[in-house]
Structure formats: structure tokens, C-alpha cells
Amino acid sequence: MRFDRNARRRWMNWIMSALALLCVVVALVPLGSIIYTAVTFGGHVLSFSFLTSGYPLACSPTPSQPTCPVGGIGPAIEGTGVLLALSSLFSVPPGILAGVYLSEFGRGRLGRSVSFFTDVMTGSPSIVVGIFVYTLFFLFFGPRGVFSALSGAVALAILMIPIVTRTTEEALRLVPNSVREAAYALGIPRYRAVLHVVLSAARGAILTGVVLAVMRAGGEAAPLLLTALGNPFGFQGLTQPSASLPPIIFNFGTSAYSNQVAVAWGAALVLIIIMLCISLTVRFALRSKLS
Amino acid sequence: MVEGALSHEDPRPTKLRVDGLSAFYGPKKAISNVSLDFPERTVTAIIGPSGCGKSTLIRCLNRMHEVLPGTRIEGRVLLDGEDIYDGDPVSVRRRIGMVFQKPNPFPTMSVYDNVAAGLKLNGIRDRARVDAAVIRSLKQAALWDEVKDAIDGPGTRLSGGQQQRLCIARALAIEPEVLLMDEPCSALDPIATAKIEDLIFDLRKTYTLVIVTHNMQQAARVAEFTAFMYLGELVEFDRTQTLFEQPKQKLTENYITGRFG
């Protein structure tokens, strides 16, 4: 009887382990497929000049010109860099401060409503944020102010704020109370204890949240189609439309010309690689710090 | 003297006086009408069974009790004759330092930064002065020889006993007048405990110390005066030797002879 039970337990153990492994595989298949497809269709266009050259013109192969120039995505990389830098500037300070408020000070009705609206913002579709920013800029700056780098950065910042806020709040809640008490017992005023001791203890997790937010914003196309729009030249000033990576993947990916489609694949691969690099850099930087 | 029996008969002046102190967590009364005097440059131990209010009492002495939501106190605590509950808790805590039960060095800060934190975050920027205070405090806490080569390493990588001495050094760096210790050895092994006890013995030359302890032998070893608390009330306060050898109260005698608690 005892042996039967053991056999059953071993069987169950084996089945459950196999099931868990299967789930891992299922979760990894789409990721692997995306990377494989991007490399297959976009890998051959990658080169240094692809990262710096201008967009390709529409071109069909003809007997006199059997291959079309591929060009590059220089303007989009420049624009995405500027947009992400601006949107980080707009979203990280308010996001972190809101997280600090929720974790350290937010009691009562105001705290609860900030928390509620953060959840609502996290769940709002990016296209809706795009329409909101479009309307906002239309009202304040008129039809000529709508499509600009500034409006694009604002749209991305609105998507980033709730992510930064939530991760900051959760990171601060994980800092043990004994650390706060230690700071108070040294006669350190509360705001300084929060800024220099509690935030510093949670900085790794907060930085991870910021990176998550940047990566989310970096992959967004929908709100940018309504705001930054795109241009063939890169970043042309805050009030001018700006190029960026996700919209050109959309635009060139639906093009009828094979050289432009190839550029869309290449841009997709570059976007994946950039995100991977950001993530790895931050992980590496965190590991080398005190922890 | 509020109640003669609970006051030390000691020639040294009173540094800290507790006068009719009661402390509450919400509606629950944790300590009730406690009065006692701590003479200057002495070690006073507070003993008693778990839940008797000794930690609450010590947390009232530098206004850490009120950090928890829903708490309040009645009565007075006088430092050099002035009520610490008049005015700003922050300035009180600069004069009355505290060491906690579990070592709690600041994570992500180096040994140096941990000790310097109290000065730097109170606005002292003078590098030479901070350096000198860090070295002095680490030496006072008998930790300097062990960490002088790793002063920029993380404080959390030290052993438990070293971390607790780091916390003592951190408290000493701001030069408090009184040092409160809430069961500072309860998370440490006997060797680390012995080091902290030696340290307490040395520190009383400069500071007024109050130490909460679970361990009666520890009270007997380090403290000149001992207070025994039970169910939120101060039962007896006397010279340590008198309290352990000729307790005046039956309750004290029962506790120190191990009949309960």
C-alpha cells in the first residue's frame, strides 16, 4: 500500500514537472518566433550604414536597375532617441514622486484616488492616450501644433508615468520599516530620510521600473501616429513632426516596394536589439553597484 | 522626586527623568504611570517578561513611539529638566540616540556612509569633520580594527555582531547625550554579545545608557541600575545588586528566581 502511494506521487511529480516545462516552452515559442522572423527577414539589411542612412525611396527592380538601394533608418533612430529622452524627462520625476507619495505619505481619500487613477492610466489603451494628446495640443496650439516631437513625447510620458509610479511604490513598500526607524532615530527629518535613505535602498527596483517604462514607450506606434507623426529627416525641433522607429515599421511594412519592406524588417530587428541592450546595460550596472 | 521609592539615591545628577508616563497603541494602554530617574553616565537596564512594555517605554524616551500610527502618550519625559515632548521630535532624537533589536544598517550604503549618514543628512558637509567623526565612532564602537580596510564595502556584508556595532557607531557619530538600546544582543551569538557588553561598559564613561534586555544575567553584568517592569507597570527600580539580591517586591523576586516569565 505504502509503495503504491509513493509510485503515484512520483508519477504526479513527473507529470507536473513535464507540464511546467511545457508551459515554459509555450511561453517562449512566440518570443523565439518573433526574433527568428525578424532576423530572417531583416538580418541581411543590417550594417553600420543602415543605422545612419536616410530612408529608401520607393523603387521597383527593373532590367536596367536589378537591385534597389535599401537606405537606412537613421532618422527614425535619432527621433526615437530624442522622443524617449524627452518622455523620460517628463515622466520619471513625477512618476517617482507619485510613487513616493503613495508609499510614504498617501493616506486617506487623496492617496486612494491617486492609486485608483494610476491603475486606470496603466490600463488605458495607448491609442486613446494618442487621441487625448492630439486633442490637447489641438486645443492649445491649433492644427499646426498637433504633429510635433513635443506632443509625441507627452503621449509617451503619459504611458510611462503609471508604470514608474507603480514600480516605485512597490519598491518602497519592500524597504523594511526598520530602515526608516533607523533614520528617524538619527534625528534625520522625514523628507530627508525618504529621499536619501528609503529611495536609495530601493533604487535598483526603481531603475528597473524606469527601464520597463522606457521599453514600453519605445515600442509604441499608435500614439505616435497621432502625435509625432513622422518625417524623413529625423528630429527637426520640438514643434516639428519627428521620425521614430515604430511608425516606420508600420509605414514601410505595408509598402508595396520590396526594398521598403526589407527596411521595416530591419527596423524591427534594430528595435529589439536596442531594447535588449538597454535592459542588459541596466542589469549590468545594477550588479556592479553595492547590493 | 515623584515617588521616592522609584528614584535612585545617587550623587550623580539626573540626566533623564520619566514622570507619570503612560503610552497607548490606539485604545490599548501599553505602559501605565511609569516614573523613574536615569542618573548621568550610568547604565540602566530595563528587564521584564515579553509584552511588559519595556520596549514601549524606551521608545517613548526619544519620541520613537509616536512614529507608529495611532499612538499617544501621557505624562512627561525630562532631559536635563526640559520636557522632550515640547517642540520638535527631530531635535530630541539628535540628543537621544537609539540602537534597535535587529541590526539595521542602511542597505546600499557603505560602512563609511552608514556612520556618516547622521551627520551628512543633518547638513554637515565639512569632509574633514565627517571623516574624523566616522573614525572616532568606529573606534568607540570597537569596530575600527575590523573594518578599516573595508570601509567602502557594503555595511550589509558584515557579520551580525559587526552590523550591530556598526549601528552603535552610527548612533554615536552624531554625539548624542543619551543612548537607548532595545535588546541590542538578542539577535547575536554569545561572542558578539560579549563584545557589545564590553562596549556598553566603556560607553558609560561618556554617555547615559538605557538598555532593554530579556537577559537578566546581562543586566547584572552591565548595568548599575535595573528597573523591573511587569504588565505595563514599573514594579521596582534600584541598584542592580540590590534588586537582584534583596528585591523589595515579591513579584520581582518571583521573576528573578525564574518562577514565571
Residue A225 CB partners (closer than 8 Å, separation 6+): A130, A247, A250
Higher pLDDT pick, A108 / B25: B25
Residue B51 has pLDDT above 70, yes or no: yes
Span B46-55, average pLDDT: 90
Span B120-127, average pLDDT: 87
Higher pLDDT pick, B6 / B94: B94
Residue-level pLDDT at A1:
55
**What distance in Å separates residue B121's CA from the closest CA in chain A?**
6
Residue B205 has pLDDT above 80, yes or no: yes
CB neighbours (10 Å) of residue A146?
Answer: 20
Contact A108/B at CB under 8 A: no
Span B215-221, average pLDDT: 90
Residues 191-210 of A with CB under 8 A from B: 192-193, 196-197, 200-201, 203-204
Chain A contact probe: residue of B108, B109, B156, B179 with most A CBs at under 10 A: B108
pLDDT-derived band at B25 (thresholds 50, 70, 90) equals very high
Ordered domains of chain B (ranges, CATH) = 14-106+177-256 (3.40.50.300)
- Closest CB to A187 among B108, B109, B118: B118
**What distance in Å separates residue B238's CA from the closest CA in chain A?**
28
Contact call for A291 and B167, based on CB within 8 A: no
Contact call for B108 and A203, based on CB within 8 A: yes
For B67, nearest residue in chain A (alpha carbons) = A181
Contact call for B121 and A178, based on CB within 8 A: no
Q: How far is residue B61's CA from residue B38's CA, in Å, rounded to a whole number? A: 11
Residue-level pLDDT at B1:
33
On average, the pLDDT of chain B sits at 89
Residue-level pLDDT at A288:
61
CB neighbours (10 Å) of residue A125?
Answer: 11
Least confident of A65-69, B18-22, B212-216, B236-240: A65-69
Contact call for B100 and A178, based on CB within 8 A: yes
DSSP E strands: which ranges in chain B?
Answer: 14-25, 28-39, 43-47, 71-79, 82-83, 96-99, 178-182, 208-212, 225-230, 233-239
Residue-level pLDDT at B5:
44
Residue A140 CB partners (closer than 8 Å, separation 6+): none
Q: Residues of B near A (CB-CB distance < 8 A)?
A: 62, 64, 67, 90-95, 97-98, 100, 102, 104-110, 117-118, 121-122, 154, 167, 170-171, 174
pLDDT-derived band at B258 (thresholds 50, 70, 90) equals confident
For B123, nearest residue in chain A (alpha carbons) = A188
For B69, nearest residue in chain A (alpha carbons) = A107
Residue-level pLDDT at B4:
41
**Over the stretch A189-233, which tens digit does the pLDDT of each residue have?**
888 999 999 998 898 889 989 998 999 999 999 999 999 888 888
Give residue for cell 535595573.
Answer: B226
Residue-level pLDDT at B7:
57
Cβ contacts (< 8 Å) between B64 and chain A: which residues?
A: 181, 184-185
CB-based contact A128:A119 (threshold 8 Å): no
Q: How far is residue A238's CA from residue B160's CA, in Å, rounded to a whole number? A: 55
Residue B10 has pLDDT above 80, yes or no: no
**Over the stretch B60-79, which tens digit does the pLDDT of each residue have?**
999 999 988 889 999 999 99
**What distance in Å separates residue B136's CA from the closest CA in chain A?**
17
**What distance in Å separates residue A87's CA from the closest CA in chain B?**
28
Q: What cell was used for B260?
A: 514565571
Residue A167 has pLDDT above 90, yes or no: yes
Complex-level ipTM beyond the 0.85 threshold:
yes
Residue-level pLDDT at B9:
66
Contact A119/B at CB under 8 A: no
For A193, nearest residue in chain B (alpha carbons) = B121
Residue-level pLDDT at B3:
43
Residue A139 CB partners (closer than 8 Å, separation 6+): none
On average, the pLDDT of chain A sits at 89
B43 class by beta-carbon count within 10 Å (0-12 exposed, 13-18 middle, 19+ buried): buried
Q: How far is residue A227's CA from residue A241's CA, in Å, rounded to a whole number? A: 8
**Over the stretch B152-187, which tens digit does the pLDDT of each residue have?**
998 888 988 899 999 999 999 999 999 999 999 888
Q: How far is residue A253's CA from residue A178's CA, in Å, rounded to a whole number? A: 55
Cβ contacts (< 8 Å) between A291 and chain B: which residues?
A: 108, 154
Residue A238 has pLDDT above 90, yes or no: no
Span A130-153, average pLDDT: 92
Q: How far is residue A33's CA from residue B254's CA, in Å, rounded to a whole number? A: 75
Q: How far is residue A51's CA from residue A71's CA, in Å, rounded to a whole number? A: 9
Residue-level pLDDT at A79:
92
For B174, nearest residue in chain A (alpha carbons) = A186
Residue-level pLDDT at A290:
47
Residue B6 has pLDDT above 60, yes or no: no
Cβ contacts (< 8 Å) between A179 and chain B: which residues?
A: 104, 106-107
Instruction: Please state the pTM of the whole predicted model.
Output: 0.83
Contact call for A182 and B110, based on CB within 8 A: no
Contact A178/B at CB under 8 A: yes
Q: How far is residue A162's CA from residue A151's CA, in Å, rounded to a whole number? A: 18
Report which of B59, B9, B68 is spatially closest to residue B34, judged by C-alpha positions. B59
Cβ contacts (< 8 Å) between A180 and chain B: which residues?
A: 67
Cβ contacts (< 8 Å) between B104 and chain A: which residues?
A: 176, 178-179, 181-182
CB-based contact B255:B49 (threshold 8 Å): yes
Residue A125 has pLDDT above 70, yes or no: yes
Q: What number of residues does chain B have?
A: 261
With b for 16 or more beta-carbon neighbours within 10 A and e for fewer, the A3-33 pattern comes to eeeeeeeeeeeeeeeeeeeeeeeeeeeeeee
Contact call for B106 and A184, based on CB within 8 A: no
- Closest CB to A179 among B104, B154, B171: B104
Q: Are strands B82-83 and B71-79 parallel, antiparallel or unpaired?
A: antiparallel
Contact call for B90 and A185, based on CB within 8 A: no
**What distance in Å separates residue A173's CA from the closest CA in chain B?**
14
DSSP one-letter code for A250: H
Q: How far is residue B58's CA from residue B98's CA, in Å, rounded to a whole number? A: 9
**What distance in Å separates residue A208's CA from the closest CA in chain B?**
16
Contact A289/B at CB under 8 A: yes
For B176, nearest residue in chain A (alpha carbons) = A186
Residue-level pLDDT at A289:
56
Residue-level pLDDT at A98:
94
For B171, nearest residue in chain A (alpha carbons) = A186
Phi and psi at residue B15, to the nearest 5°: -90, -45
